[in-house]
Amino acid sequence: MTEYLRGQAQKKEQLKAIIKKLHQGASVNDVRKEFEALSLTVTPLEITALEQSLMDEGMPAEEIQRLCDVHAEVFKGHIVGGEPATEATQQDALHPANMLKQENRAIEDLLDAELKSALEGFLVAPGPDSQRAAITAVERLLLIDRHYSKKEHLIFPLMEKHGITAPPKVMWAVDDEIRGKVKALKCLLTDSRPDPAAIKEAHAAVTAQVKDMIFKEEEIMLPMVSDKFSLDEWQAIEAGSHEIGFPFFPEGVGRWQPSGLELAGAATDSVDTTMSITGEIAFDAGTLSAQEANAIFNVLPLDMTFVDAGDRVKYFTQGKERIFDRPKTILGREVHRCHPPASVHIVETIIASFRSGEKDHEDFWIPFGDKFVHIRYFAVRNRQGQYLGTLEVTQDVKPLTALTGEKRLL
């Protein structure tokens, strides 16, 4: 056993040394040859531990993100083991892990057929029709945002709960890079004078990075979590996946029912309105039952999310006017892990200013698809001024900005 542990420690140091050489500027080919000369194989968990160890030693997550595609390229073909898929994963096509893979197959088909053909058609014979076809194909690829949202809001919180913290941070940043590159490709196509060379280069970059991410999802992430997530956790992922949607399957997707179990348990979307609370909840001005309070919050024409004084997501409304994805898996999650790495510092600055008493609110507004979204943050305090948390309120104000004149009658 001692000899085995010594060998594992030596292997870890060898792998770290190889990765550090990449970050110091060594070429992929040279580093890959060195890795192959060691005759080593790696498991998904070893890759995770390796990146976490580098971050613990002070390497910024952004630096790991910068070369994470290169890490995967060096190890590709030598990743083995991981944890075996569960029986449900092997047998049930509707298991959320299998649905993620099926979405990846649809994304690959889009890249290799529709998008490739449409772009080639436009570059060979530029014109309004071929341009529109190319833009439509890129807009279809933009739906990858919801595929990545499933990872970021459903799988990553549970990975963090199980102590796997480095891969989600790095992978989310790369997801955002891909989103940006797809949007940039669309901008190139909509330009008044499209540049064929720039379009070809952008298309090649998008295709390569999306396929690299598919490899990481299926060969590293899913094997890493397959035996760590409980049945309840997989059910929560499944419920949240249907909430976010399956844009690459417009015909719809059936519900997963593992091993004949009913889905009316913890993973359902229903609210237990009986709850364990009896009687009324006393507010400053009146009382409400828990059922009434829940219904009132959910009928408001806006989204509300409450982050407690410990910076953890504690509550959010579930009304019809939902703007951003809010699956139940984010409950209890540290708020800085609920945002893309590029915007985390903004969230942390806002909360710090609320906690110190420097500010009581902060407002932002952004175009978001066909909406114009007003995002407001409020410091929540008790009567003594003690900080209790932060309330985020988001609302599509586009219908309000369109109001003119007056309405006084039904």
Domain extents in the chain: 10-75, 87-259, 301-401
pLDDT of residue 259: 67
pLDDT of residue 266: 41
Phi-psi region of 10 (alpha: psi -120 to 50; beta: other; left: phi over 0): alpha
Q: β-strands 303-308, 313-316: how paired?
A: antiparallel
Find, among 51, 43, 57, the residue nearest to 8 by Cα.
43
- Which class for 92: exposed (0-12), middle (13-18), buried (19 or more C-beta within 10 A)? middle
Q: Where are the alpha helices (DSSP H) in 269-397?
A: 290-299, 344-356
The rounded distance, in Å, linking the Cα atoms of 78 and 391 is 47
pLDDT of residue 7: 52
DSSP labels for 244-295?
H--TT-TT--PPP-GGG--S-STTSS---SS-S--S-EEETTEEE-HHHHHH
pLDDT of residue 286: 87
CATH fold of the domain at 301-401: Beta-Lactamase (3.30.450)
Beta bridge mates, 288: 281
Q: β-strands 303-308, 387-396: how paired?
A: antiparallel
Phi, psi dihedrals of residue 41, rounded to the nearest 5°: -120, 160
The rounded distance, in Å, linking the Cα atoms of 120 and 101 is 27
The rounded distance, in Å, linking the Cα atoms of 366 and 302 is 15
Superfamily of domain 87-259: nmb1532 protein domain like (1.20.120.520)
Buried b (16+ CB within 10 A) or exposed e, 188-217: bbeeeebeeeebeebbeebbebbebbbebb
pLDDT of residue 304: 94
Q: Is there a contact between 225 and 162 (Cβ–Cβ < 8 Å)? A: yes
pLDDT of residue 11: 61
pLDDT of residue 273: 35
Spans of the chain, pLDDT less than 70: 1-12, 15, 22-23, 26, 28, 31-42, 44-45, 48, 61-91, 259-278
pLDDT of residue 71: 55
| Three-state DSSP state, 76 | coil
Measured distance between the N- and C-terminal CA atoms of the chain, rounded to whole angstroms: 81
pLDDT of residue 4: 41
The rounded distance, in Å, linking the Cα atoms of 190 and 185 is 9
